[in-house]
Amino acid sequence: MADKDEMAHYDGPAGGWGALKGIASIFGKEWNKPSVIATLMRQNKPDGFACISCAWPKPTDHHPFEFCENGAKATLWELTTPRCEPEFFAKHSVSELKSWPDYDLEQQGRLTHPMRHDPETDHYGPVSWEDAFEAIGAELKRLDPKSVIFYASGRAGLECSYLFALFARLYGHNNLPDSSNMCHETTSVGLKKVIGSPVGTVIWDDLQETEAFFFFGQNTGCNSPRFLHPLQDAVKRGAKIVTFNPVRERGLETFVNPQNVAEMLTDQGTEMSCQYHQVRNGGDIAAITGMCKHIFDGDDAAQKDSKRVLDVDFIAQHTHGFEKFEQRVRSTNWEDVEQESGLTRQALKDAADVYISCDKVIGVYGMGLTQHKYGADNIGMFVNFLLLRGNIGRPGTGACPVRGHSNVQGQRTVGISEKPELVPLDRLAEMFGFDPPRDKGRNTVEACEGMKVGKVKGFISLGGNFVRAIPDREIMEQAWESLELDVQIATKLNRSHLINGRSAWLLPCLGRIEEDLQESGRQSICVEDSFSCIHGSTGLEKPASEHLKSELAIVAGLAKATLLPNPKVKWDEWTGDYSKVRDLIAKTYPNEFYDFNARMFQPGGFWRGNSAHERIWKTQSGKAEFTSPERLSSFGFEDRQGRYRLLTMRSNDQFNTTIYGFSDRLRGLEGPREVLLIHPDDMKKAGLEQGQRVSLIGDADDGIDRRVDGLTVTPFNMPPGCIGGYYPEMNPLVPLDHHDQLSKTPAYKSVPVRIVSQRRATGIMLRSTGDRYHIEYEWYGRTKPFKPEVLEG
């Protein structure tokens, strides 16, 4: 067994001084100016703005600084001083920009003017808003609505999202995929199937009461660091954390609260997880089955006494399918459980013992459960585990999926959904006097499939970086160019803006931190967090450019230019006063959004309720469903010699496709992101050396060539047969049809690959694009840009 020092790792705590240094290393002295601190102080406060990073809830009793390292980075990123202006686009053609790394694109700063791509010159050039709206409206009128996709990335507020979805339906389609389709759609579909609620059941009070947290594949330290505060409080009062994750994530090991002076002075962290199980990726069904076997054994023994381990009353009264599930678990043998999970019987017993010893347990999960071929089976198994002891719908218990984008859950709530049955279409029909489309729209995977066969012809993107985020990137980039219309509403330049259809537009918008002035004055917007609480958010910063429009105004502008006039549809009035849009939301969803305008600034947000939290099960059987997993692995491929399970991960210095910097501090990884993380024992078996350059090749047996070259072998603590690499660099390896079977969420966490050592470059050449020269390598007959260190010419 390799020892720890052979592998990249980090000994410091999450949080602490490292967090402050992490911010400073990216934003330098800029970050702690009084004006910036004043802005950060307003983050996640009732009278301030909702963080644009993650969807972690904002507490009622907030800290003076209610932001984390990564929330601060996200805020500073939006407030950057550089501007990406028309002169920049005049200087650089789109083809040239395509050879730039993503990092350099976003470094150009905030977009300032509406721009149109000119295919003749291959440059973006400025246009007026009026011309942009009119031309895009004309294209939309020409296209068949069913061939157009309206994608939303999860940031735009409830008001804009409601109008975006309304626009789609008035225009004539339900093609409303959301970043959620790549993320927690497994939750929306899989959790709903078993407990009747598409979202988590936990609320803030539950965190304070629970005795144990079971974590499955959620990286709190990087992706929702504010969660570390209630977790730390819980640990300090004696609650336990048990973690299942192939990677030892620092935040779930040790944490120093940067807001606690005593902790900062001593740099003494709190030990977070009492047990950390490095399950193989794809191995959670097996791991939970093992724990359930122990729970049944414990219950068998207990039946002789009086105190049962199972909550038999709850199971009898509230659940369905228990006997079949029990039989399945009992008949599964230990060898298979150990093989698939990569964990020993003893380790699983230790974990089950914690579960049994605690009366109130919360289960937490993230992408580690959702992004697999059998992701919904993962969710089903996770819920089985909670149901055994009645750990849903009781104070201090529940299911806690941690959502991604700051308003991704809310966008679904107010109608951005490709599933018409989730939207009150009859009410919309009545309110706006039209006949909404009733056929199912395309989700992310189906939008991509449609594009490949030429059925999708138009794409409007409300934020995001779709081309970079989806699977099979190289194949999809080619398909993308066949689009007839491509409209991107964005704050910063990214890769998706450079892969252009025939008519391509880049429409710059205000960020959430900026002041949004409309006819009735300064506007606020609302977002929904992971606990289903709705918060108002008001931006005060001076906009990055005087030419920016709000997202809502852009959506309204496009809609007005596309649709026939309708006396019940009042785009100008709604743009002038967002409270009128909130009135529409309240009218559409009265049970959840009544008195919306009056309640939006309630500290901690207002809760829109959750049936499963009250033990009302809106499932087919009317009860919480036990499901019997048909398999122990969510990977979807056989294990075989030379095939590895690649899990794609986020570094501490990124927000999805936005790369802030090159330090993955909490994993002890610094420098270029083109790495292959692999255990030293697996390295030896494969004859690989540290620092060697290798390629990864797709191993999906579907006849499609997939590869990523130029990866540096880096020893890292991974389970056997499992390797790691960064998202989005690894996306060309993810097959589009390798997705969760129920929700079509891509299986980004278990990608079948092989490792091949790379031949030396067969040639190095200098190429010029305009006034820039690029050094390129060629190997295997493919040309790759060398980091475009540019010689001005």
Ligand X SMILES: Nc1nc2c(c(=O)[nH]1)N[C@H]1C(S)=C(S)[C@@H](COP(=O)(O)OP(=O)(O)OC[C@H]3O[C@@H](n4cnc5c(=O)[nH]c(N)nc54)[C@H](O)[C@@H]3O)O[C@H]1N2
Binding residues for ligand X, per CB under 6 A? 53-54, 70, 106, 153-155, 179, 182-183, 216-219, 222-224, 244-247, 249, 279, 281-282, 284, 366-368, 371, 402, 404-405, 462-466, 469, 489-492, 494, 509, 511-512, 551, 647-650, 654-658, 727-728, 730-731, 734, 748-749
Which of ligand X, Mo ion, none lies near 247, with the C-beta cut-off 5 to 8 A by kind?
ligand X
Q: How far is CA 301 from the centre of its chain?
A: 43
The amino acid that residue 384 corresponds to is N
Distance CA 457, CA 149 (A): 8
The candidate with the shortest Cα–Cα distance to 116, out of 141, 139, 146, is 139
Residues in contact with 425: Cβ distance below 8 Å, sequence separation at least 6, in sequence order: 169, 436, 438
In sequence order, the β-bridge partners of residue 725 are 648
Backbone angles phi, psi at 250, to 5 degrees: -60, -40
In sequence order, the β-bridge partners of residue 212 are 240, 361
Q: How far is the CB of 199 from Mo ion (least distance, A)?
A: 14
Dihedral angle sign, alpha carbons of residues 193, 196, 200, 206 = negative
Q: Which is nearer to ligand X, 257 or 488 (CB)?
A: 488
Q: Which is nearer to ligand X, 239 or 369 (CB)?
A: 369
Q: How far is the CB of 142 from ligand X (least distance, A)?
A: 25
Q: Which is nearer to Mo ion, 183 or 361 (CB)?
A: 183
Q: How far is the CB of 216 from ligand X (least distance, A)?
A: 4
Which of ligand X, Mo ion, none lies near 491, with the C-beta cut-off 5 to 8 A by kind?
ligand X
Q: How far is the CB of 416 from Mo ion (least distance, A)?
A: 14
Q: Which is nearer to ligand X, 491 or 575 (CB)?
A: 491
Distance CA 550, CA 572 (A): 13
Q: Which is nearer to ligand X, 615 or 650 (CB)?
A: 650
Q: Report, in this order, helix, strand and coil percent for the chain, each rounded to 5.
A: 40, 20, 40
Tell me the three state secondary structure of residue 32: helix
Which of ligand X, Mo ion, none lies near 731, with the C-beta cut-off 5 to 8 A by kind?
ligand X
Q: How far is the CB of 518 from ligand X (least distance, A)?
A: 17
Q: How far is the CB of 402 from Mo ion (least distance, A)?
A: 10
Q: Is 199 exposed, middle or buried (0-12, 13-18, 19+ CB in 10 A)?
A: buried
Which of Mo ion, ligand X, none lies near 43, with the C-beta cut-off 5 to 8 A by kind?
none
Which of Mo ion, ligand X, none lies near 232, with the C-beta cut-off 5 to 8 A by kind?
none
Query: What token pair was written down for 223?
Result: 């992706």
Q: What angle do CA 79, 81, 85 make, to 5 degrees?
A: 110
Q: How far is the CB of 181 from Mo ion (least distance, A)?
A: 10
Could you tell me if 213 and 410 are in contact, meaning their C-beta atoms sit under 8 angstroms apart?
Answer: no
Q: How far is the CB of 158 from Mo ion (least distance, A)?
A: 18
Could you tell me if 733 and 753 are in contact, meaning their C-beta atoms sit under 8 angstroms apart?
Answer: yes
Size of the site for Mo ion (CB under 5 A): 2
Which of Mo ion, ligand X, none lies near 526, with the C-beta cut-off 5 to 8 A by kind?
none
Q: How far is the CB of 743 from ligand X (least distance, A)?
A: 13
The candidate with the shortest Cα–Cα distance to 414, out of 462, 446, 456, is 462
Q: Which is nearer to Mo ion, 156 or 166 (CB)?
A: 156
Q: Does residue number 55 form part of the binding site for Mo ion (CB under 5 A)?
A: no
Contacting range for Mo ion; rule: CB under 5 A; set: 93-101, 400-408, 592-600, 709-717? 400-408
Q: How far is the CB of 147 from ligand X (least distance, A)?
A: 21
Distances (CA, A) of 473 to 75, 352, 659, 740, 748: 28, 41, 18, 18, 12
Distance CA 739, CA 183 (A): 11
Q: Which is nearer to Mo ion, 113 or 738 (CB)?
A: 738
Give the CB-nearest residue to Mo ion: 404
Distance CA 465, CA 199 (A): 25
Backbone angles phi, psi at 492, to 5 degrees: -135, 155
Q: Which is nearer to ligand X, 394 or 495 (CB)?
A: 495
Could you tell me if 378 and 284 are in contact, meaning their C-beta atoms sit under 8 angstroms apart?
Answer: yes
- Residue window 157-196: x/- pattern of binding to Mo ion, with contact defined by CB under 5 A: --------------------------x-------------
Among 15, 221, 404, 463, binds Mo ion (CB under 5 A): 404
Biggest CA-to-CA distance, the chain = 85
Q: Which is nearer to Mo ion, 248 or 403 (CB)?
A: 403
Distances (CA, A) of 673 to 117, 547, 650, 664: 31, 35, 10, 9
Q: How far is the CB of 183 from Mo ion (least distance, A)?
A: 3
Which of Mo ion, ligand X, none lies near 255, with the C-beta cut-off 5 to 8 A by kind?
none
Q: Which is nearer to ligand X, 218 or 289 (CB)?
A: 218
Q: How many residues does the chain have?
A: 793
Which of ligand X, Mo ion, none lies near 658, with the C-beta cut-off 5 to 8 A by kind?
ligand X
The candidate with the shortest Cα–Cα distance to 719, out of 276, 356, 374, is 276
Which of Mo ion, ligand X, none lies near 367, with the C-beta cut-off 5 to 8 A by kind?
ligand X
Q: Which is nearer to ligand X, 132 or 309 (CB)?
A: 132
Q: Which is nearer to ligand X, 195 or 647 (CB)?
A: 647
Q: Which is nearer to ligand X, 394 or 665 (CB)?
A: 665
Count other Cβ atoms within 10 Å, centred on residue 183.
26
Distance CA 375, CA 502 (A): 37
Give the CB-nearest residue to ligand X: 366
The amino acid that residue 455 corresponds to is K
Contacting range for Mo ion; rule: CB under 5 A; set: 50-58, 398-406, 603-611, 689-697? 398-406
Which of ligand X, Mo ion, none lies near 466, with the C-beta cut-off 5 to 8 A by kind?
ligand X
Q: How far is the CB of 182 from Mo ion (least distance, A)?
A: 6
Q: Is 128 exposed, middle or buried (0-12, 13-18, 19+ CB in 10 A)?
A: exposed
Binding residues (CB under 5 A) for Mo ion: these are 183, 404
